[in-house]
Chain A
């Protein structure tokens, strides 16, 4: 071994081959990333398509995407708290409360829509602040705090709704239009996809050039081109297929946008880095000078705010808020989605995209079973099995990471 060894990273075979061998090594080492969930999604789609040919029809897929947005938004928040190694059991209740505030404020009190929306989101943020302060000041486990929050805010939701129990939101209100009727025009969906692919390419290309200029390893241009092409083809054909009927829902587009934004914050900013650091080793993060308390509070605030936003989406989609809003399995579906999507329950590992992938898996199962005329009993059992599978994969990959020294 010589002192020139630090560079042996760069002595590896260059070009596309290295990219592939690198990926194989990573996967062998248990760094599975999104692979299991993508494989699972393809399998699920395949099975349901065989059982019922309408499953992959454009109409059904449009419906499926529309169902994803609300709970998917909750799942984004869950991904964030899971990255810290914490949990938030109250997202369902907070989303229900947010729906209730919207309905009561807009319909019963006649307040303007923007004010009501703002009020719901601020309520969510304050709830998150409360959780964060309780967590950091008193060191109570987030499991317990948010369990208390689940009960408390469920009660508050019922209180806000009052005796009415269920409030319908007028069909012609902008929010309901947004949730049910607004779809991106075909040209807009294609150009949005094109734009994202282009910005991906430009971003990666300039990064690679800067790295090459600095004498560091960089992704070969061929690989960047291939990835961009893959993104372009997959997303454009998805958009095209959805456009055969109603198209890409505005609410779903907003959900995807949120995921991308959160992903950027997680991977490109010091705040994102500190979230991963706290999730990996709190004490190390603290000694490195990270204000750990602020990281906790910011994440809880974001999670509850996303929950409130998800509640608004749910009310928009349903055109109503009732005592059951955000109840039943909403909570657990959001948590399951984040975990199925590949975010580790053990903290410090995961990605914002797991919210999308996970919710697509769960909603595919729901939609497929509905098409087969199976009721929710079967749906719960199957979703439970898939969740179990996801957690087992998480634990196994953790173990194999430990075995190959990538824990």
Chain B
């Protein structure tokens, strides 16, 4: 049994990204089974689910790490295939992985532009890169003391900020954040949540993968629950309590406890029938 989906929300904008019937198998294991997902511009969609629900696999499919076995991905209306990380990047899907993938020995500017440095003549255009880095960080109201310090000297929240800012360098339309607050303290989490709101204000579609229900409720517009590789409900944050989300994540409505309860009811019924 699944939760009733939210009544279809009236949309003014077209979907940016639309997944239909996505399935993925690893050997005999069905990691994803006919999963649907829509992302609209200027919206934060949270994907929540227990361990093994298939969140990371879904993210990896979108990031081009491995393609889906079945199902279609439509991006800005057209059906596309995402076969490699480069494909994802070229489409405008940027992913910030949980481990951030920053080079600790390089400074903030180098990390932001890594792999797509601006050139001038035969060399690097450091001035332009640094200037644009400042502009970007300022737009995000990011608190980075200096862009010329090695990333290793930054705090966890600042590193997360750098990783998110880096995802914006290629001017993407969808940003995927994989557990962005998992390793952060209270203040830093708040900072990152502010940052996510700013991404939404820029009109980006944001996919937020998280374990943390409080964070999800704080910033997300819509919550998509995955359970054992299937869609297990979709909620608008305004309509939902954390208990309902947790129930959907754990499948509290369909588990050994409820099944036992219904079995008991049947037994009682049988006895009644026998007596009458």
Interfacial residues, chain A to chain B (CB-CB below 8 A):
1, 3, 5-9, 29, 207, 210-211, 214-216, 268-270, 273-274, 276-277, 279-281, 283-285, 287-290, 348-349, 401-402, 404-407
Task: Flag if B115 contacts A288 (CB, 8 Å).
Answer: yes
Supply 6 further A-B pairs (C-beta < 8 A) apart from A9-B147, A285-B115, A407-B104: A274-B115, A279-B105, A281-B101, A288-B114, A289-B89, A405-B152
Q: Is B237 an interface residue (CB 8 A)?
A: no
Given contacts A269-B122, A284-B114, A288-B115, is CB(A214)–CB(B106) below 8 Å? no
Task: Flag if B123 contacts A288 (CB, 8 Å).
Answer: no
A216 to B129, CA, bound (A): 11
Task: Flag if A6 contacts B105 (CB, 8 Å).
Answer: no
Which 5 pairs across A and B sit closest by C-beta, in order of nearness? A288-B115, A289-B115, A280-B103, A280-B105, A284-B101
Q: Enumerate B107-154 residues with CB–CB distance to A below 8 Å.
A: 110, 114-117, 119, 122-124, 126-128, 130-131, 134, 137-138, 141-150, 152-154
Question: At the interface, is chain A mostly helix, strand, loop or mixed?
Answer: helix
Task: Flag if B131 contacts A214 (CB, 8 Å).
Answer: yes
A143 to B99, CA, bound (A): 28
Most buried by B among A215, A281, A401: A281
A406 to B106, CA, bound (A): 10
A273 to B107, CA, bound (A): 11
Interfacial residues, chain B to chain A (CB-CB below 8 A):
85-86, 89, 97, 99-106, 110, 114-117, 119, 122-124, 126-128, 130-131, 134, 137-138, 141-150, 152-154
Task: Flag if B124 contacts A276 (CB, 8 Å).
Answer: no
A214 to B100, CA, bound (A): 30
Question: At the interface, is chain B mostly helix, strand, loop or mixed?
Answer: loop
Task: Flag if B124 contacts A273 (CB, 8 Å).
Answer: yes
Query: Taking CB as reference atom, which chain B residue is nearest A272?
Result: B124
How many interface contacts (CB-CB < 8 Å) are there between A and B? 109
Residues of the A chain whose Cβ atoms lie less than 8 Å from the Cβ of B123 = 268-269
Task: Flag if A277 contacts B114 (CB, 8 Å).
Answer: yes
Task: Flag if A273 contacts B127 (CB, 8 Å).
Answer: no
Residue in contact with A210 in the complex, picked from B100, B127, B138, B144, CB distance below 8 Å? B127
Task: Flag if B124 contacts A211 (CB, 8 Å).
Answer: no
Query: Taking CB as reference atom, which chain A residue is nearest B128?
Result: A214
Residue in contact with A6 in the complex, picked from B89, B101, B103, B134, CB distance below 8 Å? B134
Query: Taking CB as reference atom, which chain A residue is nearest B103?
Result: A280
Residue in contact with A214 in the complex, picked from B127, B144, B149, CB distance below 8 Å? B127
A172 to B109, CA, bound (A): 53
Task: Flag if A287 contacts B85 (CB, 8 Å).
Answer: yes
Residue in contact with A404 in the complex, picked from B86, B114, B142, B153, CB distance below 8 Å? B153
Residue in contact with A281 in the complex, picked from B102, B124, B146, CB distance below 8 Å? B102
Task: Flag if B103 contacts A281 (CB, 8 Å).
Answer: yes
Most buried by A among B130, B141, B144, B150: B150
A280 to B143, CA, bound (A): 24
Task: Flag if B131 contacts A9 (CB, 8 Å).
Answer: no
Task: Flag if B146 contacts A9 (CB, 8 Å).
Answer: yes
Residues of the A chain whose Cβ atoms lie less than 8 Å from the Cβ of B102 = 281, 284
Query: Taking CB as reference atom, which chain A residue is nearest B65?
Result: A287
Residues of the A chain whose Cβ atoms lie less than 8 Å from the Cβ of B145 = 5-6, 8-9
A349 to B150, CA, bound (A): 11
A269 to B119, CA, bound (A): 8
Residue in contact with A406 in the complex, picked from B117, B119, B152, CB distance below 8 Å? B152
Most buried by A among B85, B116, B127, B138: B127
A288 to B157, CA, bound (A): 20
Q: What is the minimal beta-carbon distance from B137 to any residue of chain A, in angstroms? A: 5
Task: Flag if A287 contacts B142 (CB, 8 Å).
Answer: no
Query: Taking CB as reference atom, which chain B residue is nearest A83?
Result: B105
Task: Flag if A6 contacts B85 (CB, 8 Å).
Answer: no
**24 A-B pairs with C-beta separation under 8 A:** A1-B143, A5-B145, A6-B134, A6-B143, A7-B134, A214-B127, A214-B128, A216-B134, A268-B123, A269-B122, A269-B123, A270-B117, A270-B124, A273-B124, A274-B115, A276-B105, A277-B103, A280-B106, A284-B100, A284-B103, A287-B97, A348-B103, A348-B105, A406-B149
A216 to B125, CA, bound (A): 14
Query: Taking CB as reference atom, which chain B residue is nearest A404?
Result: B153
A277 to B149, CA, bound (A): 15
Query: Taking CB as reference atom, which chain A residue is nearest B114?
Result: A288
Query: Taking CB as reference atom, which chain B residue is nearest A26?
Result: B149
Residues of the A chain whose Cβ atoms lie less than 8 Å from the Cβ of B97 = 287
Task: Flag if B153 contacts A405 (CB, 8 Å).
Answer: yes
Residues of the B chain whose Cβ atoms lie less than 8 Å from the Cβ of A288 = 101, 114-116
Residues of the A chain whose Cβ atoms lie less than 8 Å from the Cβ of B152 = 401-402, 405-407
Query: Taking CB as reference atom, which chain A residue is nearest B118?
Result: A270
Q: What is the minimal beta-carbon distance from A23 to any residue of chain B, in angstroms? A: 14
